[in-house]
Structure 1
Amino acid sequence: MKKLTALLFAALIGTTAQAADYKIDTSGAHAFVQFRIKHLGYSWLYGRFDKFDGSFSYDEENPQSSSVEVKIDTTSLDSNHAERDKHLRGSDFLNVSKFPTATFKSTGFKPLGDGKAELTGDLTLHGVTKEITIDVTNIGGGKDPWGGERQGFSGTTEFKLKDFGIDYDLGPASQTVEMILDVEGVKI
């Protein structure tokens, strides 16, 4: 009877899908943390953070159990303009000498169907932590040519700079920043 119970338990465990853990692939330009904000209401200013890392857990059978953690090096901001980058890294905006990192840690993942979901979590930026929601799309996943497994997602969110203690006045059209997040993870 003990053998039968052990075999049944092993069979159940073997057939139960479990979340897979992934390391965000920042080594080969397969992941991006980008932003855009209106410049005086006349055009868009785009930028990115070149250095970040993180990981996520994803279970296709039980996606609501998914989670993600990301750490961003705010000193790596790049808007393709050296003087502007210096200003954005300074005390008027990110104050990277005092706050050299930003972090995101998820608190919930709500599948909406058709590969779409809402990811909620705590964003810490400029020394302030606030809950944000990221609209997520599962791009796809599966085996790669090198024998590994990958999973990819794209997400967008927006928030007011002043909610994170950044109150430099750029005018009424430039109060909200949009974040564009694209990640490809390699199963670990």
Structure 2
Amino acid sequence: MKSHLIAGLCALALTLPVKAAEQYEIDTGGMHAFVQFKISHLGYSWLYGRFNDFEGEFTFDPENPANSAVQATIQTASVDTNHERRDKHLRSDDFLDVENHPEATFVSTDFVPLGDDRYRLEGEFTLRGVTREVEIDVTQIGAGEDPWGGFRRGFQGRTELPLEAFGIDYDLGPAAEEVEIILSIEGVRQDEAE
């Protein structure tokens, strides 16, 4: 009798729908996503900038966040620090070398829940043809329906990248050997929400 009950429960479990991870497209069309950076200027102030052209997608599994994944592509020539001459220099081979490396990419390898809507996103970041493992501290900001009948989910992330690790050895002084990346990502759900 007990074995029949167990077999019946297993059969029932196999017939129940399995929730797949939710699929999202990063909302760059509506400009509800930002890839920004800041770096020290001579140790006296912060220089801020952003990339205006990027795209990506992510999956998120609310039941098991470790099943989540992210991938994104940045057009490096879209760098913008609100100063044309500086941006031209940043596009040169001293820095981003956009002629030879027009794209920077990120592909996640792990998404580790830390509690309280905080996560550690691990992945491979490629810049100037150099790929390095990076870790991004992530916080989920919120999720829910939007006014247009869709469903959105948003995250914020931060990480620091050593310039030298990506072949950038231009001398900006000892206070500017790392750049901080600041991400604000809002995704629009693409699969059918239940």
State TM-score, norm by structure 2: 0.91
Aligned-residue offset at 1:8: 5.3
Which residue, 32, 56, 61 being the options, matches 2:63? Answer: 61
Helix, strand or coil at the partner of 1:96: coil
Quick one: distance in 2 between partners of 1:187 and 1:140? 13
Aligned-residue offset at 1:148: 1.1
State the AA in 2 paired with 1:129.
Answer: T
Helix, strand or coil at the partner of 1:9: helix
State the AA in 2 paired with 1:167.
Answer: D
Aligned position for 1:9: 14
State the AA in 2 paired with 1:182.
Answer: S
State the AA in 2 paired with 1:30.
Answer: H
Q: List per-residue Cα deviations over 1:137-164 (Å, max 9, x = no partner).
A: 0001111111111110000000110000
Which residue, 167, 172, 175 being the options, matches 2:174? Answer: 172
CA RMSD of aligned residues (A): 1.7
Aligned position for 2:104: 102
State the AA in 2 paired with 1:169.
Answer: D
Quick one: distance in 2 between partners of 1:150 and 1:93? 35
Quick one: distance in 2 between partners of 1:143 and 1:7? 32
* Residue 126 in structure 1 maps to residue 128 in structure 2: yes
Which of these two proteins has the greater Rg computed from alpha carbons?
2
Instruction: Give the fraction of aligned pairs with identical amino acids, expressed as a percent.
Output: 59
Q: Which runs of 4+ in 1 moved over 4 A?
A: 4-8
Aligned-residue offset at 1:19: 0.5
Quick one: distance in 1 between partners of 2:107 and 2:12? 38
Aligned position for 1:23: 25
State the AA in 1 paired with 2:94.
Answer: D
Aligned-residue offset at 1:18: 2.2
Helix, strand or coil at the partner of 1:153: strand
Helix, strand or coil at the partner of 1:37: strand
Aligned-residue offset at 1:91: 1.0
Q: List per-residue Cα deviations over 1:58-87 (Å, max 9, x = no partner).
A: 011100111000000000000000000000
Aligned residues: 184
Quick one: distance in 1 between partners of 2:14 and 2:139? 35
Quick one: distance in 1 between partners of 2:161 and 2:154? 24
Which residue, 136, 146, 166 being the options, matches 1:144? Answer: 146
Which residue, 115, 120, 124 being the options, matches 1:113? Answer: 115
State TM-score, norm by structure 1: 0.93
Quick one: distance in 1 between partners of 2:12 and 2:137? 42
| Structure 1 residue ranges without an equivalent (≥5) | none
